[in-house]
Amino acid sequence: MSEELYAGVDVGSRSIELVLYAGGEAIEGRRLPTTFEPLGQCRRLLDGWRPRRIVATGYGRGLIEALAGELGLGAEVECITEIKAHALGASWRFPEARTVLDIGGQDTKAIALLPGGKVGRFEMNDRCAAGTGKFLEYTAGVFQIPVEEFGEYALQGDEAPVINSMCTVFAETEATSLMAQGVRPHNIALGLHQAIVRRTVNMLGRVGLAYPLVFAGGVARNPCVRELLGRNLGATPGEALLTPPDPDMNGALGAALWAAREG
């Protein structure tokens, strides 16, 4: 199998994903937190596998070259941009897709797709954590709620106050002020989610939103963001708004597809 096995690794700021691809299928997907030892985490993900070619993407993609040297694969390693990887992954899962939205731990990407998973236009917010998974994690902490439960908590709100700031510190100040005014906590949480979606919709508009739209990245697991996004875009979930079953693996999938294509 080693001659037919290809690996895509997405080394992100919050987590690292691995997708193994062989025989025209994604046969394995693994995920670990990045921690302060990303190279060691990559080694654990690849333990027991000897792919013919590795393609890496994400913030720490350069680390894979060192790891591949350990595996004797130094000549079979390539790095590609996150934009290219996410476009390929989304297009492979949903060939009819016209736009990709990826909200990860530290950045947001909006991509207009051309046929074959090629990139038309894109916009990327990577200068701060505003509107990303880190923003949700931080604000969930204000409510003393695990970030995995924050979306369901927010969906219990029925009237979202306007949150003007997307800076995590200032957003916390606004949330605290609203609590002091007696605003229902579920509504404040809903307002924080709405602020993310409002910012995201603006990004999509700038790249030229066309349907179907693929929503990927770890934040795509948040049910409140999914619902508000569909509502704000006027999209019907399951038709114009598509979410992969494992949305945080999309970048690694795209990298694996590139490995197989170039291999």
Q: Are residues 154 and 194 in the same domain?
A: yes
| Number of domains observed in the structure of the chain | 2
Is residue 2's pLDDT more than 50?
no
Q: Looking at the predicted structure, is the pLDDT value of residue 133 above 90? A: no
Is 12 within a domain? yes
Quick check: 12 and 105 in contact, CB under 8 A? yes
User: What was the pLDDT predicted at 1?
Assistant: 43
Q: What percent of the chain has pLDDT over 70?
A: 91
Kindly report, residue by residue over 170-206, the tens digit of the pLDDT.
Answer: 777 888 899 889 999 999 999 999 999 998 999 999 9
Whether residues 108 and 144 share a domain: the answer is yes
What is the pLDDT confidence band of residue 238, given thresholds at 50, 70 and 90?
low
Q: Helix crossing, 147-154 with 223-233: angle to 10°?
A: 50
Strand runs (DSSP E) across the chain, as ranges?
A: 6-11, 15-22, 25-33, 53-57, 77-79, 99-103, 108-114, 118-125, 213-216, 241-242
Q: Describe the strand order of the beta sheet including 53-57 as a list of residue ranges.
A: 25-33, 15-22, 6-11, 53-57, 77-79
Q: How many helices (H) and strands (E) does the chain have?
A: 9, 10
CA-based nearest residue to 30, from 13, 44, 40, 12 = 44
* CATH code: domain of residue 75: 3.30.420.40
Domain assignment present for residue 90? The answer is no
Are 222 and 115 found together in one domain? yes
User: Has residue 1 been placed in a domain?
Assistant: no
- 12-57 confidence digits (pLDDT tens): 888 999 999 999 999 999 999 999 999 899 989 988 888 889 999 9
Q: What is the DSSP letter of 105?
A: S
Tokens of 198: 């409002």
- 173 and 123, same structural domain? yes
198 within a domain of the structure (yes/no): yes
Domain of 56 in residue numbering reads as 6-83+250-262
pTM of the entire predicted model: 0.90
d(CA 36, CA 176): 31
Beta-ladder partners of 119: 113
